[in-house]
Amino acid sequence: MPLITCVEDLRVLAKKRVPKAFYDYVDSGSYSESTYRENSAAFHALKLQQRVAVNVEGRSTASTMIGQDVAMPVAIAPTGLAGMQWANGEILGARAAQRFGVPFTLSTVSICSIEDVARETSMPFWFQLYVMRDRGFNASLIERAKRAGCAALVVTLDLQINGQRHKDIKNGMTVPPRITMRNVLDLASKPGWVLRAMSGAKTFGNLAGHIKGGDDVIAISKWVASQFDPTLSWNDIAAIRQQWDGKLILKGILSADDARVAVSVGADAIVVSNHGGRQLDGAPSTVDALPAIVEAVGDEVEVWMDGGIRSGQDVMKALALGAKGTMVGRAFMYALGAMGEAGVTRMLQILQSELDVSMALSGVRQIGEIGRHNLFQGGSNPSARHARAGFEPAIAALN
């Protein structure tokens, strides 16, 4: 087993082991990919405030997300085609998340179905819903999620139409899929992936057997492409709130105005997200959009974020800006493509270790203690001046 010390190691290994078309499907954004790159760059621009001589023994990364106990405030985001990174990838990811103690979210366009994942796990997972033109099919997916005991419904709002990703088009990841000689040769160079793929599910598990036109990948891909609904409105979300009596999470919020409406329709949590830079290129990074949204809704709803998180330090920075939780998509897919279930477990271990160490070096013992004072703001930081004032007697005694 290769020595894996960070998420970047998993990305590099996944690039070697996963066919190019499926790797690029994960590691790409729309148009110029500027928003995709900015998601990570914005995190790098934030600096943590080091603190010393603070008792940090007995630290814990434990927290809650929508009332659910979690080992750290990180959930695995819904990711389409995870089962094409590693055979039965959604089942493997759900098992790793369950063992580690964080939520797993199954995508509508997963390879393994709701029922497949439910059979292989004992901890309730979350289900992500794309709102299709066929509202009857939406309702049937919601009912299947209820029967499977899903603990939350995650509705993705920012895919009313599909953003254009140049790499997918060039690789033949189109509707219908296009077979190219380059793809065939690339598959031949990945015998391990091919052998695993032969033993795993091979179509969209949540859709096969439930739509007209056939169960093969091409037929289902055409149907899905025709079902993204540009007429989606907040009235549709309100209707879903009536159908789903569990926790409701709305994903794809980038503006304070939309956040306030999300609260009004009964969301239990909102996810500040730009779809990983895969939809509107030129949109702001999620970490840049986060503070205004937190300010707009206060404690009325839990605010989470995704996009660009590659380390436990990124998790801490998001929490410092007011997020109550985070979701990781690409880090999960890199880990899955690199090493399957063991890779997902290793990714979660890395994030937790990095979060724990960063908390310690920032003088923090509990997740609830993290705030803006943990971000370096130079000499203009009033929190730092107030903190120092509280220690004036001790400093005087030392002198």
Domain containing residue 156: CATH number = 3.20.20.70
Q: Is the pLDDT of residue 398 over 60?
A: no
Pairwise CA distance, residues 49 & 38, whole Å: 22
Stronger pLDDT, 64 or 181, i.e. the higher one: 64
Residue 2 lies in a domain: no
First to last CA, the chain: 54
Residue 43 lies in a domain: yes
Work out how many domains the chain is built from and give that number: 1
From 44, 166, 210, 275, the catalytic residue: 275
Q: Is the pLDDT of residue 211 over 90?
A: no
Mean pLDDT, residues 315-333: 98
Pairwise CA distance, residues 290 & 303, whole Å: 8
Q: How confident is the model at residue 296 (pLDDT cuts 50, 70, 90)?
A: very high
Rounded to the nearest 10 degrees, how much is the dihedral formed by the CA atoms of 208, 211, 215, 221? -100
Rounded to the nearest 10 degrees, how much is the dihedral formed by the CA atoms of 317, 319, 325, 326? -10
Residue 388 lies in a domain: no
pLDDT at position 176: 59
Q: How confident is the model at residue 123 (pLDDT cuts 50, 70, 90)?
A: very high
Lowest mean pLDDT among 36-45, 162-171, 278-287: 162-171
Stronger pLDDT, 378 or 112, i.e. the higher one: 112
Pairwise CA distance, residues 370 & 52, whole Å: 16
Residue 380 lies in a domain: no
The residue segments making up the domain with residue 218 are 7-361
Catalytic residue list contains 166: no
Residue 379 lies in a domain: no
Average pLDDT, the chain: 92
Taking CA atoms, 48 is separated from 128, 358, 386, in Å, by 33, 8, 18
Q: Is the pLDDT of residue 393 over 70?
A: no
- Pairing between β-strand 63-65 and β-strand 68-70 as defined by DSSP bridges: antiparallel
Lowest mean pLDDT among 166-170, 208-212, 282-286: 208-212
Residue-wise burial string across 80-116, b where 16 or more C-beta atoms lie within 10 A, e elsewhere: bbbbbbbbbbbbbbbbbbbebebbbbbbbbbbbbbeb
pLDDT tens digit sequence for 126-145: 999 999 999 999 999 999 99
Residue 376 lies in a domain: no
Residue 374 lies in a domain: no
pLDDT at position 216: 76
Residue 248 lies in a domain: yes
